Amino acid sequence: MSALDTWTKLRDHLSDDFLGGPKVLEASWVINAQKGGTLPFMLALMWAFDCWTPTAWTYAALHGSYGLCWLLKDATFPDPSWDKKVTFGGAVMMWLGALGLYWVAPLLIVVQRVDAPGWLLASASLVYVMGVVIMMGSDAQKYFTLKARRGLITDGFFARVRHPNYLGEMMLYGAFAAVSMHWAPWLVLAWVWLGVFVPNLLQKERSMSRYPEWAAYVRRSGFLLPRVLPAAPEPGSRPG
């Protein structure tokens, strides 16, 4: 068993089966509680610490609206991978290991009364909006395309990037971390991206490689960033 398989198995055990017992909670319920609860959590923090700064309001609007977008996405084109059942211990580990850590940024912004410059708030807002559009659009394309036909998706959002939904999510969470003006949220993102995203992406690549058109698709697309240079010619081919 490879190191990737070992880590993925351990990670899935902690989030799905930790401490054992009945699996009565859907993973989507746990995730939606955190996503949808971000806006009221942020507003409650602002009220508790009497912090009504432009940075706090901007963060509440950005991260809060993302939570609402996520709930809308889950209601219209949900990710089937989150339909799985988890134990209560698994739900707690999902919060402690990833979901709850996303609230480090708003805590810092409110408690430390962060005063981010206007250019940073504007830049973060721009990156956030682009990230939401890429994530929501590519997830919608994937959901409805796979309902119509199974197979490799190589057009639309996926034409030049093999994992645009992950790219969009990294962009928007990077925007949240930037607004906090602190290293701690970036450390959280490094943990989530390396411990969750990268193993998922490598597994997806391994699964998709079974399609005959995979090699040609890899040559003309990027892993997370769009390929802007023309694909290298296949070995043995002659230029046209």
Q: Is residue 142 part of a domain?
A: yes
Which of 58, 64, 67, 173 has the alpha carbon at shortest distance from 119?
58
Q: Is residue 232 part of a domain?
A: no
Amino acid (1-letter code) at residue 212: P
For the beta carbon of residue 231, count every other beta carbon within 10 angstroms.
Answer: 12
Number of structural domains the chain divides into: 1
Q: Is residue 238 part of a domain?
A: no
* CA 80/CA 215 separation, integer angstroms: 27
Q: Is residue 226 part of a domain?
A: no
For residue 34, the Cα-to-chain-centroid distance in whole angstroms is: 13
For residue 2, the model assigns a pLDDT of 84
Mean pLDDT by 10 residues, the chain (240 residues): 86 92 94 97 98 98 98 95 94 94 98 97 98 98 94 95 97 98 98 95 94 94 84 48
Q: Is residue 240 part of a domain?
A: no
For residue 171, the model assigns a pLDDT of 98
Q: Tell me the whole-structure pTM to 2 decimals.
A: 0.91
* CA 81/CA 92 separation, integer angstroms: 18
For residue 5, the model assigns a pLDDT of 85
Q: Is residue 235 part of a domain?
A: no
Domain around 116? 3-220
Q: Is residue 89 part of a domain?
A: yes
Q: Is residue 183 part of a domain?
A: yes
